[in-house]
Structure 1
Amino acid sequence: MPDELARRYLATWNERDPVKRRALIDELWTEDACYVDPIATADGRGAVDDVVATAQRQFPGLVYRLAGSIDSHHHVARLTWELGPEDGPPVIIGLAVLITDHGRLSRVCGFLDRTGAQR
Structure 2
Amino acid sequence: MNTATSDADHVAEHYIAVWNETDESRRLKLLETHWADDAHYVDPIMQGSGRSQISALVGGVHQRYPGFRFALKGRPDGHGDQLRFSWTLGPSGSEDLIEGTDFVQLEAGKLRSVTGFLDKVPAGA
TM tier, shorter chain?
Answer: over 0.9
Per-residue Cα deviation, 1:73-93 (whole angstroms, up to 9, x for no partner):
000110000001222211100
> Which residue pairs with 1:88 in the alignment?
94
Identity of aligned residues (%): 36
Trace 1:1-119 onto structure 2 (pairs within 5 A): 1-117=7-123
Q: Which runs of 5+ in 1 are unaligned?
A: none
The superposition leaves residues 54-105 of structure 1 with CA deviations (integer Å, 9 ceiling, x where unpaired) of 1111110000000111111000110000001222211100001111001100
- The ranges of structure 1 where at least 4 consecutive aligned residues each deviate by more than 3 angstroms after the TM superposition are none
Letter paired with 1:91? L
User: Deviation per CA, 1:29-76, whole angstroms, max 9, x where unpaired?
Assistant: 101110000011101111111111111111100000001111110001
Over the aligned positions, Cα root-mean-square deviation in angstroms equals 1.1
- How many residue pairs get matched? 118
- TM-score normalised by length of structure 2: 0.91
The TM-score normalised by the length of structure 1 is 0.95
